Amino acid sequence: MRFLIPSTGLLLLAGGFTPAWASPVFQDADPDPLGMTVLQVGDRSVSAREVVDGICERDPSILEPVQGDPAYRALYLRSILFRDHVRAYRDKLLLDAAGVPEADEDALHAEALAWSMDRNRAQPVKVLLASHGLEIGVRARLIGEQPEGFSTLLLRGHFMKSVPEFFGLMSCSWIRLPLFDPTSGSAFPEEEVKARWHALGGIADKLASGKIEWDDAVLRWSEDPATRERKGKVGILRRNMADKFEEPFLRQVFAGHGFKNVAGHRIRGPILGTWWVYLVRIETIHIKGPVGLEQVRPKVTRSLREHLLQERLQELREGTECRILVPPAGLSLND
């Protein structure tokens, strides 16, 4: 999947679909659109303005078009990128409530570089912090809670649980559903995201019980035209292919397969990405050997940090009732 990032850096659209500005025009129905609630964390309501102000701490250049251009503002407030910003702002508030210390500039820069390497994005740190500063800041704070280093015993245990992550090739097929409107590029509401995740969970149950075969499930439910006609076949994957596939998808599909070559089908998912939600049929895993911890120690360390970071985030999210309200109510579609 290809992404187009206009010069403003804000409106991300899925390649191959009609750009949102070429079809419907979104307009503000609220006299103060930035005052609309986009996030609820416990009893606290968070406005779009508060989230934008958080972004502007790193990238003040976005404030003028968001405030001054109604069409641009409406597109941004309905975008996948804004939904990601709101999710990251939620995590920031959860860390604040838990008393997790702020990260210093050195820690932010180190995590920005590691984040970009994870995703095969070679960009200056300043650009990364401007576009993804909220997420990177959350990650740097959580990593700051972790030990500076891990014992060889701990690293070896993590490595042996997930050898294909570091030395494996995987062939798989998928059923995937978009988390955006292909016509307009707008993010689906969080309720629809959850509904699609649960729908794929139901399909996984039907596959496990033998009520439906994989090929039939792909034809019936997949909304990915590129793979639907190939019975969902994606091809050969490696963990470091984040320039072609979503990083959350790769991270979750490669984790926890142990240390042996695998033949035969395994269903994994649903897996929630930024743009898509996936149900994956893993068909083969081949480990290219010989393998050893010392060959990939930095990667294993990074993987373990990611694993602990995600566990901690999940713990914080489950401890507080949160609602993401993107796209916000009050934005109307003018045909």
Domains along the sequence of the chain with CATH = 3-146+317-334 (no CATH), 164-287 (3.10.50.40)
Among the listed residues 93, 136, 44, 86, the one whose alpha carbon sits nearest the alpha carbon of residue 317: 93
- Angle at alpha carbon of residue 60, lines to 62 and 182, rounded to 5°: 25
Residue with tokens 């499930």: 217
> With 90 as the cut, is the pLDDT of residue 293 above it?
yes
Percent of the chain with pLDDT over 90: 76
The DSSP secondary structure of 9-75, one letter per residue, reads S---EETTS--GGGS-EEEE-SSSGGGSEEEEETTEEEEHHHHHHHHHTT-GGGHHHHHH-HHHHHH
pLDDT tens digits for 312-328?
999 999 999 999 999 98
Which tokens sit at 93?
Answer: 């508030």
| Structure confidence at residue 330 (pLDDT) | 65
Q: With DSSP H G I counted as helix, E B as strand and the rest as coil, what are the percentages for the chain, rounded to 5?
A: 50, 20, 30
Average pLDDT over residues 201-219: 96
269 burial (CB, 10 Å; 0-12 / 13-18 / 19+) is buried
| Structure confidence at residue 14 (pLDDT) | 36
Q: What is the pTM of this model?
A: 0.86
> With 50 as the cut, is the pLDDT of residue 15 above it?
no
Q: Measured on CA atoms in the order 282, 287, 293, 294, is the torsion positive or negative? A: negative
Lowest mean pLDDT among 23-27, 122-126, 306-310: 23-27
Biggest CA–CA distance in the chain, Å, is: 64
Lowest mean pLDDT among 12-21, 53-62, 151-160: 12-21
Strand partners of residue 284 = 171, 263
Which tokens sit at 247?
Answer: 């990083």
What average pLDDT does the chain have? 88
Neighbouring CB atoms inside 10 A of 233's CB total: 14
> With 70 as the cut, is the pLDDT of residue 302 above it?
yes
Confidence of residue 30 (pLDDT cuts 50, 70, 90): low
The DSSP secondary structure of 153-215, one letter per residue, reads HHHHHHHHHBTHHHHEEEEEEEEEEESB-TTT-PBPPHHHHHHHHHHHHHHHHHHHHTSS-HH
Are residues 179 and 274 in contact, defined by beta-carbon separation less than 8 angstroms?
Answer: yes
Confidence of residue 331 (pLDDT cuts 50, 70, 90): low
Among the listed residues 130, 164, 127, 119, the one whose alpha carbon sits nearest the alpha carbon of residue 54: 130
| Structure confidence at residue 19 (pLDDT) | 37
Q: Using the 8-state DSSP alphabet, how is residue 241 labeled?
A: -
> With 80 as the cut, is the pLDDT of residue 265 above it?
yes
| Structure confidence at residue 249 (pLDDT) | 96
| Structure confidence at residue 332 (pLDDT) | 57
Among the listed residues 331, 320, 323, the one whose alpha carbon sits nearest the alpha carbon of residue 87: 323
